[in-house]
Amino acid sequence: MSKKTSVNSTYLMKKTLQLLRENRAVVLFIMITVLALALISPLRPMLIQNMVDGPMQKGDVNGLLKYTLWMIGLLLLEALFRYYFTYKSAWLGQTVVRRLRQKLFHHLSTLRLSYYDRTPVGTLTTRTISDIESIAEIFSQGLLTIWGDLLQLLVLLGIMLYTDWRLTLIGLVVLPPLLWATWLFKEKVRGSYQEVRREVARLNTIVQEHLTGMGIIQVFNREKESLNTFRSVNHELQQAHLRGVLYYSVFFPVVEILTAVSLGLVVSWGALQAVGGGVSQGVLIAFILYLNQFFRPIRLLADKFNSLQMGVVAAERVFKLMEVNEQEDNQGQSLPSGSTGSVVFKNVHFSYRPNLPVLRGISFDLKPGKRLALVGSTGSGKTSVVNVLGRFYTHSEGEVYLDGMNIEEMSLAELRGRIGFILQDVFLFSGNVYENITLKDPAIDRERIRAIARGAGIYRFLERLPGELDYEVRERGAALSTGQRQLIAFLRMMVLNPPLVVLDEATASVDSETELLLQNAMNSLLANRSALVVAHRLSTIRDADEILVLEKGEIVERGTHVELLEADGFYSRLYHLQFESQLANS
């Protein structure tokens, strides 16, 4: 192991141990049980030694009964301590994991969306679930058990040397090659564990991506290609596991052979000495038990070290993710009450990637209670304006104001609490309609939702659902149509009653009946409310107070619907093209 790797592992271990600060009392209790086990375990061979050399030699039945009772009591005491050690170690590991997983999930929820654009969701899932679960092994199967085993080995070694130093040296003659084999095994398996974790992350990514896109796979008959991709990654994971199995299949027979050699040497030499009276029968039997107790932890020590290493590898991945510093600054001032929903963009520039600008000097002014529409071809920058306004992404130049305050000087909660977003791709969580409208906010009651739905003229949509607000939408809203998901998103926004509404292609993927329903509801509910509307269907924005036409990140035209038609420019051509397309399809 290189010096750099050693230093890195030491740093990770120190950082992992810091997770125990809130459970110091439990750690102290576990250490006491470990100490007790290390002292109690060697007492059994000592009792057997005294029993063989004492009452058994003399034929003392009462003495044998007394030693038997002592043995039973010792076994019960050891079982009690073993129970508390096993349970508390597992409890400690799971408690730390729960706390760490909550911190990691909270950290992920604060990262900018740009981080998720370049990081596979499957990798983050692996970090949040299986990698953190591996960290629990550090406390339940790794560090504490290793410390206990090492302590027991030291106690055993001291008792063995005190009992008969010659038998001890003969029995431990195989210790150097055993320690070398253990170290080599630990290093080999550590590498295989790292490889397994990498392949698990890859497999999670492939599974998540392909299951999410199963509709595309089936529509284009790519099941075979999808299976081949999965089969390739799955094969690599199998090979990584098999390499670890190979190391185990070599190491354990080597340990068994060396242990048998040690016992054979002790029994051979001890038997010869016993004949001459140099070693008593009790000592010889006790040493056989001592050696079994001594080599058993060593045999398992390498595996426990690997559990520890696996936890350290997982900790490195988790802590690296925890150290990702891509949070949007959430500190800022609070706006006074009575927001008007006015928006001002001043020469705003923005790009998702360096040297690839998406917005080039965008400037506009959305007055309170007015409706501003953004139109343009795909990739013109319409959605990017929405992303910048909500600070989902940070613009590189220019200034954006909401209610007269620079959005960079506002907290995210303050900013987004004053904007209601309805996006084209509506995401619904597993649960019922009520939970997806309120997003688990207990302050929003059912009657309020029904009243809003009636006022918007869409209560009929809720009545048609079996169970109304209790209707289960299933994962990602699979039980609902696209139009129904949009209506739920509309209600989700309306219960918040924000001063500014942003509609990003909100009616681009719905049928004509649903579009008309949404349009009527928006006309009534957006009265005296500021609105920023992004739309492909130009028929939905005829009543906008101002329309901005974007092309390649720049505003190429602006004006009302009538003014832009009279100008006979880009908007006019786009409008007539859509009108002719609708006539052709009617």
| Spatial distance between the Cα atoms of 498 and 485, rounded to a whole number of angstroms | 20
Domain end: 322, 352, 375, which one?
Answer: 322
Residue 571 lies in a domain: yes
Q: For position 2, what pLDDT does the model report?
A: 46
Comparing 63-72, 143-152, 168-177, 372-381, the range with the smallest average pLDDT is 143-152
Residue 153, pLDDT above cutoff 50: yes
Distance between CA 332 and CA 407 in Å, rounded?
9
Surface-to-core class of residue 409, CB atoms within 10 Å of its CB (0-12 exposed, 13-18 middle, 19+ buried) = middle
Are 55 and 183 in the same domain?
yes
More confident residue, 138 or 219: 138
Q: Enter the tokens of residue 71.
A: 């043995």
Strand ranges, E, within 415-506: 419-423, 500-504
Q: How does strand 554-559 pair with strand 546-551?
A: antiparallel
DSSP 296: H
Residue carrying the six token digits 């009772």:
69
3-class DSSP state of 28: helix
Is residue 360 in a domain? yes
Do 304 and 232 have their domain in common? yes
* 357 phi/psi in degrees, rounded to 5: -65, 140
Integer CA distances (angstroms), 52 to 55, 161, 354, in order: 7, 20, 82
Same structural domain, 246 and 394:
no
Q: Same structural domain for residues 463 and 536?
A: yes
The pairing of strands 343-353 and 397-402 is: antiparallel
Mean pLDDT of 8-12: 66
Q: How far is CA 280 from the centre of its chain?
A: 60
> Domain for residue 22, yes or no?
yes
252 with 161, same domain? yes
Q: What is the CATH number for 536?
A: 3.40.50.300
Same domain, 35 and 99: yes
Residue 204 lies in a domain: yes
Angle in degrees, CA 28, 11, 91, rounded to 5: 35
Residue 534, CA atoms < 13 Å, CB-side half-sphere: 23
Instruction: Name the pLDDT band for 5 (thresholds 50, 70, 90).
Output: very low
* 3-state SS assignment for residue 189: helix
Residue 532 near residue 389 (C-beta atoms within 8 A) = yes
In a domain, 117, yes or no: yes
Tens-digit pLDDT profile for residues 77-109: 989 998 988 888 888 888 888 888 888 888 888
350 and 313 assigned to the same domain: no
What does the pLDDT look like over 276-316, one tens digit per residue?
A: 666 778 788 888 888 888 888 777 776 677 677 777 778 88
Average pLDDT, the chain: 79
Whole-number pLDDT of residue 155: 87
Task: Encode pLDDT of 518-559 as tens digits.
Answer: 666 666 667 678 888 887 666 667 778 888 988 888 888 888
Residues 6+ apart with CB under 8 A from 119: none
pLDDT of residue 509: 53
pLDDT of residue 4: 45
User: What pLDDT digit, counting tens, does each position of 467-480 carry?
Assistant: 888 888 777 666 67
Residues 109, 115, 120, 121: what is their CA dihedral angle, to the nearest 10 degrees? 10
Q: Which amino acid is at 478?
A: A
Q: Determine the average pLDDT of the residues in 135-145.
A: 74
116 and 227 both lie in a single domain: yes
Average pLDDT (332-359) is 80
| DSSP states along 420-442 | EEEESS----SSBHHHHHHTT-T
Which tokens in the block code for residue 518?
Answer: 């949404």
- What residues form DSSP beta bridges with 422? 503
Tokens of 351: 């790009």
pLDDT at 275: 67
d(CA 161, CA 179): 19
Q: Are residues 296 and 402 in the same domain?
A: no
Query: In the structure, what pLDDT confidence band is assigned to residue 352 with cuts at 50, 70 and 90?
Result: confident
Smallest CA-to-CA distance from 490 within 546, 428, 420 is with 420
Residues 318 and 349 reside in one and the same domain: no
Residue 335 lies in a domain: no
Flag whether 349 is in a domain: yes
Q: 349: pLDDT confidence band, cut at 50, 70 and 90?
A: very high
Whether residue 112 is predicted with pLDDT greater than 80 in this model: the reply is no
What integer pLDDT is reported at residue 342 of this predicted model?
87
298 and 358 belong to one structural domain: no
Q: State CA 445 to chain mean position distance.
A: 32
Per the structure, the complete domain to which residue 245 belongs is given by 3-322
Q: Three-state SS for 72?
A: helix
H or E segment at 333? Answer: none
What angle in degrees, to the nearest 10, is found between the helix axes of 281-322 and 61-109?
10
> What six digits make up the tokens of 45?
């061979």
Tokens of 520: 């009527």
Q: Once rounded to an integer, what is the mean pLDDT over residues 119-148?
A: 76
> For the chain, how are helix, strand and coil distributed in percent, rounded to 5?
70, 10, 20
Instruction: State which of 322, 356, 371 marks the end of a domain.
Output: 322
- Residue 185 placed within a domain: yes
Per-residue pLDDT, 3: 45
Q: Please, which residues have CB within 8 angstroms of residue 283's CB and are 6 or more apart in sequence?
A: 49, 53, 163, 164, 167, 270
What is the sign, positive or negative, of the torsion defined by CA atoms of 509, 515, 517, 519?
positive
Residue 526 CB neighbour total at 10 angstroms: 17
Do 424 and 565 belong to one domain?
yes
* CATH code of 308's domain: 1.20.1560.10
Determine the 3-state secondary structure of 60 from DSSP.
Answer: coil
Provide the number of structural domains found in the chain: 2
DSSP state of 390: T
